């Protein structure tokens, strides 16, 4: 696999999750927190958490600190989307986790720089599988999502950050996402399978033959937008269905161009406290998350804004759900449970 970081080093602006004032300047290092600090932050600004389980004697931990955790893309993505905790899994300090205090009763000060006893919290959160380095991922409620042992390169770690940080783990198996990620950044194809239209073209098409509309919202800094564009929208089953049943528009949510949509002109005026185009904000109702797919009916009525990355197999029932208007009679869980698709 080609190294993706030279290509992305100038795209360090991480995925923005709300239309607030943003600072996309490169940051020097990960903003490490304690468990206590994260517990307080979660009360007002919930985020995913990653825990770097390390020890004083772990050489690969030090290497990961010097390489992966100092990479500018990693630093900026983590600081924008995660709370990061560096935890000495053999340290002496008492730590509160979910209102329970954990200690290291077997700790020996004279062995501070060598192998020591395991901290009770490390044993709990790592499920007794103590190897270093290990990265633990926690959800916004501080529940365990996964523990990933071993040294990770920046490429490897970015995969993991995206997979859990953007909730891809909820819809797509890890091996599928990893394969799509690697293939996307080896070669990003010129996606001409779907008949993508501009909003100007859309207006003319809707006059002649009204159809439902799919708008793919993306930004240049959203890694998963690129993967979905390169892998999901090039899938023959997906592309054929969209071309047959929808008009498809691909729109950069930070575009500077004025856009006429449904008779109204939208802009990205200078001086805003956020970088987003008015039309993107309108579609997502201010909840800016990318990638996102917007489903619109034949009368320009908004059916739904669906945020997040979808592999082809996961996206097939979504596009069918809205085209078939199954939402009028069925709940999504019931529909997808019985859905039989064509994507392998």
Q: Please identify which residue in the block is written with the tokens 């927190």.
A: 33
Residue spans per domain, the chain: 5-165, 196-338
pLDDT digits (tens, 9 = 90+) for 114-135: 999 999 999 999 999 999 999 9
Radius of gyration of the chain (CA): 23
Of all helices (H) and strands (E), which one includes residue 4?
none
266 touches 259 (CB < 8 A): yes
Q: What does the DSSP assignment read for 48-90?
A: EEEEEEE-TT-HHHHHHHHTGGG-HHHHHHHHHHEEEEEEETT
For residue 248, list its beta bridge partners.
196, 214
- Beta strands 100-102; 95-97: pairing state: antiparallel
> Residue 7 and residue 13: Cα distance in Å, rounded?
13
Task: Specify the pTM.
Answer: 0.59
pLDDT digits (tens, 9 = 90+) for 273-332: 899 999 999 999 999 988 999 999 999 999 999 998 999 999 999 999 999 999 999 999
CATH assignment of 5-165, given 3.40.640.10, 3.40.50.970, 3.40.30.10, 1.10.3210.10?
3.40.30.10
Structural tokens at position 186: 């080896």
User: Is 219 strand, coil or helix?
Assistant: coil
Give the CATH class of 196-338: alpha beta
Q: How many CB atoms lie within 10 A of CB 333?
A: 8
pLDDT digits (tens, 9 = 90+) for 217-226: 998 878 888 8
Mean pLDDT lowest among 20-24, 50-54, 294-298: 20-24
């Amino acid at each position: 696999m080609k190294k993706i970081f030279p290509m992305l080093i100038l795209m360090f602006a991480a995925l923005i999750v709300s239309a607030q004032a943003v600072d996309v300047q490169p940051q020097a290092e990960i903003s490490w927190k304690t468990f206590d600090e994260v517990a307080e932050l979660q009360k007002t600004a919930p985020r995913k958490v990653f825990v770097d389980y390390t020890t004083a004697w772990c050489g690969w931990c030090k290497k990961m600190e010097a390489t992966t955790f100092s990479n500018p893309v990693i630093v900026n993505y983590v600081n924008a989307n995660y709370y990061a905790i560096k935890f000495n899994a053999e340290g002496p300090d008492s730590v509160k986790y979910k209102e329970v205090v954990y200690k290291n009763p077997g700790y020996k000060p004279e062995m501070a720089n060598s192998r020591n006893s395991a901290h009770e919290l490390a044993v709990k959160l790592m499920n007794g599988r103590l190897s270093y380095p290990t990265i633990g991922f926690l959800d916004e409620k501080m529940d365990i999502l996964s523990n990933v042992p071993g040294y990770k390169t920046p490429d490897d770690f970015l995969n993991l950050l995206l997979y859990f940080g953007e909730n891809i783990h909820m819809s797509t198996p890890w091996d599928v996402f990893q394969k799509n990620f690697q293939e996307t950044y080896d070669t990003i194809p010129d996606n001409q399978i779907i008949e993508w239209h501009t909003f100007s073209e859309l207006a003319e098409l809707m006059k002649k033959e009204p159809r439902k509309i799919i708008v793919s919202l993306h930004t240049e800094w959203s890694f998963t937008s690129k993967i979905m564009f390169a892998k999901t929208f090039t899938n023959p089953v997906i592309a054929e269905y969209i071309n047959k049943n929808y008009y498809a528009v691909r729109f950069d949510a930070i575009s500077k161009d004025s856009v006429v949509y449904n008779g109204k002109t939208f802009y990205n005026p200078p001086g805003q406290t956020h970088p987003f185009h008015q039309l993107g904000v309108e579609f997502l109702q201010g909840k800016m998350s990318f990638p996102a797919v917007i489903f619109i009916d034949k009368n320009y009525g908004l059916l739904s804004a669906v945020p997040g990355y979808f592999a082809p197999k996961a996206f097939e029932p979504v596009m069918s759900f809205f085209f078939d208007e199954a939402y009028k009679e069925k709940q999504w869980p019931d529909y997808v449970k019985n859905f039989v698709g064509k994507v392998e």
